[in-house]
């Protein structure tokens, strides 16, 4: 869809399946600033599409919902989950962290480079940043881990990751089980091994 000309709107219909319906729940499982329905969280992948001006969602149990500021909604959800991804346990989370590092500077799979997305959020959605990472400590740790893990994978003879073409396959070869949970201890341990 990113390549399609003149994409102006997307209509999504969430249907009942096997007795399960999309509906608002009073249980808040994520600490998002906004109370969001499950149907809202499903929209995250659509936030990566460009040229979308209007989005309409129709769950079978609710009337249509329109999002006038879809970019702000996606930035809020995306930034929150990005901060949470740093410390989530499990193999899927480790591989998602690997994908994030592999796309830090590249536009793999039609996505904007991670760095560009993050800078855009910081510049255009400051309220989101203030809500989830007000002093950008999580982002600084994420970047320091990225820099250290990339240097470790490249070898001690390399001095600058920016000079290297370090794509998805090289990240996968270096970290086949994904990127471990990010923490100061993890960073210090990796730096001792690398330097």
pLDDT digits (tens, 9 = 90+) for 52-88: 666 666 655 555 556 667 778 888 888 988 999 999 9
Phi, psi of 16 (to 5 degrees): -65, 140
Nearest C-alpha neighbor of 151 from the set 186, 94, 190? 190
Q: What is the pLDDT of residue 65?
A: 57
Local confidence band at 35 (pLDDT 50, 70, 90 cut-offs): low
Q: How far apart are CA 143 and CA 11, in angstroms?
A: 36
pLDDT at 127 over 80: yes
Higher pLDDT, 50 or 186: 186
pLDDT at 142 over 90: yes
Beta bridge partners of 17: 20
Q: How far apart are CA 78 and CA 72, in angstroms?
A: 10
Distance of CA 114 to the CA centre of its chain: 8
The gap between the terminal CA atoms of the chain, to the nearest Å, is: 44
Higher pLDDT, 2 or 139: 139
Look up the pTM and report it: 0.70
**Averaged pLDDT, 187-194:** 79
pLDDT at 102 over 60: yes
Q: How far apart are CA 97 and CA 100, in angstroms?
A: 5
Q: What is the pLDDT of residue 192?
A: 79
Domain coordinates in residue numbering, the chain: 9-68, 90-194
Local confidence band at 2 (pLDDT 50, 70, 90 cut-offs): very low
Q: What is the pLDDT of residue 122?
A: 94
Nearest C-alpha neighbor of 182 from the set 138, 152, 150? 138
**Averaged pLDDT, 13-41:** 58
């Amino acid at each position: 869809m990113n390549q399609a000309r003149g994409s102006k709107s997307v209509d999504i219909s969430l249907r009942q399946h096997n007795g399960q319906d999309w509906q608002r729940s009073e249980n808040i499982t994520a600490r998002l600033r906004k109370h969001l329905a499950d149907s809202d969280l499903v929209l995250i992948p659509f936030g990566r599409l460009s040229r979308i001006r209007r989005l309409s969602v129709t769950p079978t149990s609710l009337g249509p919902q329109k999002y006038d500021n879809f970019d702000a909604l996606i930035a809020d959800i995306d930034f929150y989950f990005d901060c949470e991804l740093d410390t989530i346990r499990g193999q899927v989370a480790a591989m998602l962290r690997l994908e994030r590092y592999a796309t830090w500077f590249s536009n793999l799979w039609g996505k904007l480079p991670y760095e560009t997305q993050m800078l855009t959020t910081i510049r255009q959605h400051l309220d989101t940043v203030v809500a989830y990472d007000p002093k950008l400590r999580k982002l600084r740790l994420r970047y320091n881990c990225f820099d250290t893990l990339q240097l470790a994978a490249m070898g001690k003879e390399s001095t600058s990751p920016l000079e290297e073409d370090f794509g998805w396959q090289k990240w996968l070869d270096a970290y086949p089980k994904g990127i471990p949970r990010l923490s100061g201890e993890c960073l210090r341990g990796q730096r001792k091994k690398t330097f």
